[in-house]
Amino acid sequence: MTHFALTIIGRDRSGIVSQVTEILYQLGCNIADSSCSILGGQFAMILLISNPAIKEKSDFGDAFTPLEESGLSVFVRTLKPGGETRSQLEGDICLISVYGADKPGIVYQVAKELGDRKVNITDLNTKLIGSETRPVYVMMLEAVLPPEMSEDDLKTIMDRLKGEMQVDISVRSITPVEL
């Protein structure tokens, strides 16, 4: 079965998720995976979708025209086989949180330390909280440690970075629960 990545971007307003999912429901599409967020004043959504009857992007026809007419940008990309399958990552899952004064380089410096050590970032969110006069930058990362790295190893690395960057960084393990 062919899978597609559907990306929706546009000025935030209520009802976007409902509008998008109604179209997908009417098409008979299955949503294999999805993520959405508000970035500044923009809504951003990406979904991995499939339908046995839809083999090519052109098979969607003008189904997404109502979204575009409501001011949203819509992009459809055909995934290569296996692109919908979640990676099987071995290793502990950790949540890394970073709080500090808003300044350039926070995401890069943390991501570089993790990337240099083969830590796989599986989710990353940032936002500015606080007031205009005292903004606080918040970054939350979910990451999978390589099998040879422990949570304590990562805490040591992040403690060093915490001092260098003058931010607060914490690391905690997330224990997966099987239902």
Token pair recorded at residue 26: 């009417």
| Model confidence pLDDT, tens digit, residues 133-142 | 888 999 999 9
- Is there a shared CATH topology between the 3-78 domain and the 93-174 domain? yes
SS3 state at 101: strand
The CATH class of the 93-174 domain is alpha beta
pLDDT above 90 (res 85):
no
Report, at the CATH architecture level, how domain 3-78 is classified: 2-Layer Sandwich (3.30)
Residue 91 confidence (pLDDT)? 84
Cα separation, 155 vs 160, in Å, equals 9
DSSP string, 57-99: GGGGTTTTHHHHHTT-EEEEEEPPTTTTSPP---S-EEEEEEE
Q: Find the mean pLDDT for residues 86-111.
A: 89
What is each CA distance from 56 to 4, 5, 88, 169, in whole angstroms? 9, 12, 27, 45
Q: What does the domain layout of the chain look like in residue ranges?
A: 3-78, 93-174
Residue 175 burial (10 A CB sphere; 0-12, 13-18, 19+): exposed
pLDDT above 80 (res 177):
no
Is the pTM higher than 0.85? The answer reads: no
